[in-house]
Structure 1
Amino acid sequence: MATDAAFPEPVAARGAALDVLVSGASVAGPVTAYWLHRAGHHVTVVEQSPPRRRPGGHAVDLFTPAMDVIERMGVLEAVQDRGTGIERMTVRREHTRRDVTIDMTRLMSALSDRHVEILRDDLGAILYDATRADVEYVFGDRISGLTDDGVATFEHAPARRFDLVIGADGLHSGVRGLAFGAETEYSRWLGGYIAVASIPRDRHLAGHMTTLLGVNRMVGLYSARHMTDARAFFLFRPGAELAYDHRDVPRQKQLLREAFGDLDGEVPRLLDEVDRAPAFYFDAITQLAMDHWTRGRVALVGDAGYCPGPAVGGSTSLAVVGAYTLAGELAEAGSDPAIAYPAYEAAMRDYVQRSRGFATTMARRLVPGTRAGAWMLIAGTSLLTHLPTALGRRLVALGSGDLGLHESIEVRDYPALAP
């Protein structure tokens, strides 16, 4: 696909319905599809995974601006019902025997007016249910090529022409690779890695998370109130980037053992369970630093365009707001992407840039590099949960790494997206 950002010809008459292809059916894709359909467009969503995913996934956070969008979509109650319901976290530092209990409800109330933690695949299922009657979904396929005149070729299905193509296919976006080039040109490693595995659940985990925090590493276990299994998660910061293939799961599990194998207590059991885990996720904590998320007929949404960093940047909320904003700007521009795409970038730029800064800071603070830093993280978090909510929020606003950034984002009303 050519790199020229200009449109070779008008996409459609002003206000006309567009044929839009969306790549990705996790979170950003269905939200984009919902609002594009609301604006009167014909939407096809293509997803490489099969239609029935294993329920669960790892936990993600929805903060106030994303919750506003979720409410406008009419799925607020469903999202709240599927929240993890984790009310407390027990955390212990390496080489100590003292546990500290964190009231998660009070902690999150100090950070956000409206917050829900939900398993990613549960959220995806809710969004799919909200759109499947109005949107064409194609599972088990992917986009293999794009042309300047909007023709998309697929791995399995026949080629089709679309007015617009939206890449909502995550950090390792195939659409971004076709339209913008190699990921290495835009990605920046933030110094860490994350792994999540589905393992059997202990009955004491309902509404409870246990965490062991050490120097440059963290391991924990949690389960949602409605789950029959649990999630083991691992965060660690090696001295240099690791060499592995993203398809080589045995190598990834070996890297976990190298990083956590010297720990005792519950950790050996968790590592054994990881070896048997039916679902396993491993990735670098990587940030995308792209100046533009649109080119020609293509627009990128969520992690595909501006991932601040998995687990550290609030990327799910950013994706939900970005999807709504893209559809809203297209609606306001009368379906003209030449007007809407620059407006979309302008509307999201501050949120994206602040999220990048927040993620860079949190990648260091969440997994401290010293024992003193680990102690300060636990002590500071515990203190925040013992303060009155109003005072806690003032402290957050005064300089806790922009922890309150989501609360400062206002979701615009787009009259063209009204029911």
Structure 2
Amino acid sequence: MGADAATTPSHTATGEPVQPVRGAWILRFSLAWVGLFAGLFGAIQVLLPMQAETFAGAGKEGVLALVLGLGAAASLVANPVFGAISDRTTSRYGRRVPWVAAGFLGGAVGLIVLAAAGSVAVMIIGWCVVQTALNAAYAALSATIPDEVPVRQRGTAAGWSGLALIVGVGIGTGLANLDHAVAAGYLGCAVFLLLAGLPFVLARQRPATTAPPPIDWRRFLAGFWVDPRRHPDFGWAWFTRFLVNLGNSIALLYLFYFLADSVRVADPKLAVTIATGVNLAAVLVATMVAGIASDRLHRRRVFVCGGALAMSAAAVLMACWPTWSGVLVAAVLLGLGFGTYSAVDLALLTQVLPTAADRARDLGVLNIASSLPQVVAPVAAGALVTGPGGYPLLYAVAAAVGVVGAVLVYRIRSVR
């Protein structure tokens, strides 16, 4: 007979959860991620490129790079800072929920600002608000995995969040295409964002068991530096994530314009939607298979490496076969790779965190490795795509960067 649930501790003395999470928790958690990603990627995939073209015409690439780059810079600060603040939050709703709620509300406000934007300057303001707010929510949501999910379930939980990413991209892209007006697309994404976050925010949460010590600002700021010499696996996890995401960001940044100017499809907006749908189907297969298999085999690195290599192969395909058929095949390969990578990478990251007390802060530092490529990629991609190499060189560089990141995953020693 098992121990009485009322007397069974939910966490070990080191703060690691031991009780498995239930399906209802995973559903609320996943739905919140779907809303967050719909808010972000409905804008990134369709609405911001359309808006940039409206305001800048032939200079659309430069305007889009500026808007995305400044928004990514805001996310670089927001993710670790709000993560650290959530680590030190005490409330009847727990440490994370207040920041999820505030982030979703702020993200909706930013999308409304974008809907009303009449200039590039207002676009920048709106997108920076969206990135700041949703990265606050991102940091808090990420930390709920090591807070609540035991290690043996983390591949499955991370798989659901990876699946939520691509479902959110699909829903966000679909909402952006509901009406030819950009404003309607932004408003649709804002409404969905708020509705998707409600079940997670309104559910009963476990409050923090102990109050954190008062903030020592010197230590607070110093804590954002995690010495890779003392924590080498943390350092390698950060670096490999940066490289894989940089390659992916370079490859996807100008997809809308690649379809219009190189592949020359008649309706690039529709083409992005179709390619996203094909990609979604592949991710649906890969994400849950990889996450569950990773838990059962007790292995993370082989899935992370294999997924990253498949994503690089998709970029090579785009470089060598710039046709609509090539794009669709690449979308399948990218979906299989990204689904595998995203399903397991987050689980791996939760196993290299230095301390339990600062999970959200440290995950926020690791999430910089996802945000920083959004700052670097516009600069690199803009130079590559406007140079003599054009799109073939752009995708070749994206593939090479991703391959290096994939191989270096095996420098992480503490996780199999």
Shorter-chain TM-score category? under 0.3
TM-score by length of 1: 0.26
Higher share in strand: 1
Higher share in helix: 2
TM-score by length of 2: 0.26
